Structure 1
C-alpha cells in the first residue's frame, strides 16, 4: 500500500513540476516575442508588443510557483536551518522531520483554503486584470491546482516521516 502511495505522490509532484516548468517556458517565449515586437515597432515589422504581457506573466509565475511546491516538499527541498542536525541523534532528527512535515501540512492546508476563498471572491465580483482583462479568478484557479497537490504531498510526507520513525522502509 505504501509503495503505491509513494509512486502516486511522485507522479503528482512530477506532473505538477513539469506543468510549472512548461508555464515558465511559455512565459519566457511570450516575453521574448513581446520584447522583439516592441523593438521592431519603429520598422513596421512583426506583431508589436503583446497586450497584457505583464498580466500573463504575473498569473503564470504564481501558477508555476504553486506547481513547484509539491516537488519541493516531496524531495525535502524547502529551506531549513540544519545547524544542530549533525550533532543530534538520528532518532531526534526523524522526530523533528515529522514535526516539520506536520507544520508544512498545516501551512499547505491553510494557504490552499485561503487561495480557494480568494478565487471564490474574485469569481463572484468578476474582477479582471487591468490591461488584458483576464478574469482574476483564473489565476487563482491555476494556483489552486498546485496548492491541492501541495496538501496531498505534505500529507504523504507525514506518513513517510512516521514510517521512518517506526524503522519501516520508505
Structure 2
C-alpha cells in the first residue's frame, strides 16, 4: 500500500465533509457496541437461564448494516481501503495519482448505484409498511439511512479523487 492518510496530504481532514465523517463513524462505533452488548446479553441469558432477547438477530442485522455504512465515509476520507499496487508501485507519481483518482471515481459510481437501489428499497418498504418479524420494527428507515450514507460516501470519494489529483506529485 503506497498511499497512507498522512502521505501527501491526501486524506480529507478538513472542510464540511470532514466535519461529518468522524462523528458518523463514532456513532457507528457506538451502534456496534450496542449490538455486541445485545448479543452478549443474549448468549448469557441462553446459557444461564435458557431464555433469549426477543428479536436479537433483527437488532444485530439492522444495527450492523447501519454501522457499516457509517464507517465507510471515514475509511474513504483517510484512504483506508485496501490498495493492491503490485503493478503500479513502479509508475511515476503522477500516473499513480491519476489511477488512484480513477478508482476513486469508480468507487463514486458504485456508491451511487448502491445508494440508488437502497433508496428504491427504502421507498418500497416504507410505503408498504414492512416491519421486522419479531419486534415489528419498521425496516425502511434503516435502509433509507444506509442510502443516505452511501450518497455521503460518494461525496467523500469525489473529494478524495480531487485531493489526489491536486497533489500533483
TM-score bracket, normalised by the shorter chain, equals 0.7 to 0.9
Higher helix proportion: 1
Please state if 1:74 is matched with 2:77.
yes
Unaligned regions of 5+ residues in structure 2, if any? 1-11
Separation of aligned partners in 2, 1:49 and 1:145: 33
1:5: how far off? 8.4
Aligned-partner SS, 1:127: coil
8 Å Cα contact 1:67-1:145 kept in structure 2:
no
Q: Tell me what 2:4 maps to.
A: none
Confirm or deny that 1:129 pairs with 2:129: no
Name the CA shift for 1:82/1:5 in 2 (closer, same or farther; >3 Å): closer
Partners of 1:51 and 1:120 in 2: how far apart?
27
2:27 aligned residue (7, 15, 19): 19
1:76-102 CA distance string (max 9 Å, x none): 122232102221111100110110111
Q: Give TM-score scaled by structure 2 length.
A: 0.85
Q: Which moved more, 1:141-150 or 1:48-57?
A: 141-150
Matched, 1:156 2:159: yes
Post-superposition shift, 1:162? 2.6
**2:14 and 2:104 mapped to 1: Cα distance?**
16
Q: 3-state DSSP class of the match of 2:100?
A: helix
Deviates more, 1:84-93 or 1:53-62: 84-93
Shift of 1:130: 1.7
Query: 1:105-156 CA deviation, whole Å, 9 max, x = no partner?
Result: 1111111111111100111111111222211212202323422321221121
2:119 to 109, 113, 116: 116
CA contact (8 A) 2:125 2:139 kept: yes
Q: 1:22 to 1:64 in 2, by over 3 A?
A: same
Q: Verify the 8 A CA contact 2:115 2:148 in the aligned structure 1.
A: no
Aligned match for 1:105, one of 105, 108, 117: 108
Structure 1 or 2, whichever has the larger Rg, is 1
Q: In structure 1, list runs of 5 or more residues that go unmatched.
A: 43-47
Matched, 1:52 2:55: yes
Instruction: With the length of structure 1 as denominator, give the TM-score of the two structures.
Output: 0.84
1:22 Cα deviation from its structure 2 partner: 0.6
